[in-house]
Amino acid sequence: MTSQGEKTWALGLMPKVDPKDVTDIISRISDVALVLSDTGKITSISCNPDFVGRDAVKKWAGLQVQDVLNVESVPKFELRLKQFRENSGSAKAVELNHIARDGLDELPMRYSLHAIGSDGDILMLGSDMRPIADMQQQLVSAQIALENDYEAQREHDIRFRVLMESSDTATLLVSVKDGNVVACNAAAEKLLGKPRGVLVDGPLDAEFESKGRADVVNRMVSAASEQSVSPVIAKSRLTKLMLSLRPTLFRGVNGQMLLCKITVAGGADRSLDQLQAQLTGLYDSGVDAIVFVDAAGQILSANDAFPKLADITHAYSLRHRSISEFLGRGSVDVNVMLENARRTGQMRLYATRLVSEHGSERAVEISTTQISAGGQAIFGMIIRDSRRVEASGGPKKQITDVDMQSVIELIGGHSLKDIVARTTDVVEKMCIETAVEMTSNNRVAAAEMLGLSRQSLYVKLRKYGLLSKG
């Protein structure tokens, strides 16, 4: 009141309020109002008329405020109360959770603390946080639903990829809108002769000798729409094969799509399947060991005959091991065979010794062929036990009668030193001839096999008249 008796907010003065109206004002500006004694006992409670649960809250009167808070909220309340008293009635609002009791579920509230009177009483004005908590729960539920949808999408994507890759039939997914390949499997890469990185996102018609742009796609759409029994026949631009395309039209998220299964037109595909089955049977059941290695000699795969030949208990232990570990001359043998296979495409009947897992050796003959697989050069080796050839008196490099006679004639006319030197020359010549023949006249490989430098090998070839041989 001013001196003139007017009600005003000016100069920090508050209009006079009837004490009867204070309780109503407080209950309107907050959901719950608690008056605490200096010991923390709830002495008075006022609730907003629209507050749900006011009857249960009013039963808190006479209890310690800690008795109606959950275990996590008690230390938060005591800390904020301590700060309030230390700062002379100034402290930030605090969010507390009341325990479920008297038919009321757990109640989240946000309280502001205010000092009233001079006896240490505190007024706590609380706002119901349940609407906000419900909203937060809805956001969490929406986030969980999004995560579940994302995981389900990833699961479907994995299943799709596994299904595509496990199929032996060349399969493409094509967008009707732009005619581009959306996805393909490994069988399609092989049949069309191009890697996946080139096929995907590229126009399908570019892979065929078509009459015009989108010719093949339009023909497939027509065939799929009419549910035609006859496939679409088109010639591959790269492999020149006549291919049979069987389309299925469906609607995707971004428009119509074509699922296209491709086979070789006519009976060539059946012949190919038969040949594949025959080769697989030969690989699995063949008597001779078959080993595939990469350009560095690392074993990629081997049939069951190889572990038996090398006395290996578990075939899976061969993976990523070098074939040189099982050859008598190690890397020398590998370099000779792979180098010759690179130059001429193959190397036949290379004689060496196979070293088993336990150190025993046996004579073998190895035929090596270079193969192109997935754009990379690999080498197929057929390893045959040659002990039966040696036992049957098969062709082996022998010291000739002329060489032996020339040595015998030295006895009686020359010293033992001269005779031994002459014998050494005969053996040396035989070893050099053998190495040159085994390496198909590859002088670098022969020098490596004999442990000589290239210059030393050429000197010895000239010495024995072998330089022009081969």
From the list 76, 62, 156, the residue with the least C-alpha distance to 113 is 76
**Alpha-carbon span 457 to 452, nearest angstrom:** 6
Per-residue pLDDT reduced to its tens digit, 79-129: 888 888 888 777 788 899 999 888 888 889 999 888 887 677 888 898 888
Q: In the chain, count of helices (H) and strands (E)?
A: 15, 15
- Give the tokens for residue 123: 């007024």
From the list 81, 82, 137, the residue with the least C-alpha distance to 106 is 137
**Alpha-carbon span 405 to 255, nearest angstrom:** 90
pLDDT truncated to tens, each residue of the chain (470 aa)?
444 555 555 555 556 666 656 666 776 778 888 888 888 898 888 888 888 888 888 888 889 999 999 999 999 989 888 888 888 777 788 899 999 888 888 889 999 888 887 677 888 898 888 888 888 889 999 999 999 888 988 888 888 888 888 888 889 999 988 889 999 998 888 888 888 888 898 888 888 887 766 688 888 888 888 776 678 888 888 888 888 888 888 888 778 889 999 988 765 555 556 777 788 888 888 888 999 998 888 988 888 888 888 888 777 778 778 998 898 888 888 888 888 888 888 888 888 889 888 888 888 899 999 987 766 788 999 999 876 544 444 444 555 555 555 656 556 556 666 666 667 777 777 788 777 777 767 777 777 777 788 888 888 888 777 776 65
Per-residue pLDDT reduced to its tens digit, 313-354: 777 778 778 998 898 888 888 888 888 888 888 888 888 889
| pLDDT value of residue 391 | 45
Backbone angles phi, psi at 73, to 5 degrees: -85, -25
* Crossing angle (nearest 10°) for helices 443-450 and 454-463: 100
**Alpha-carbon span 161 to 183, nearest angstrom:** 9
What DSSP designation does 38 have?
T
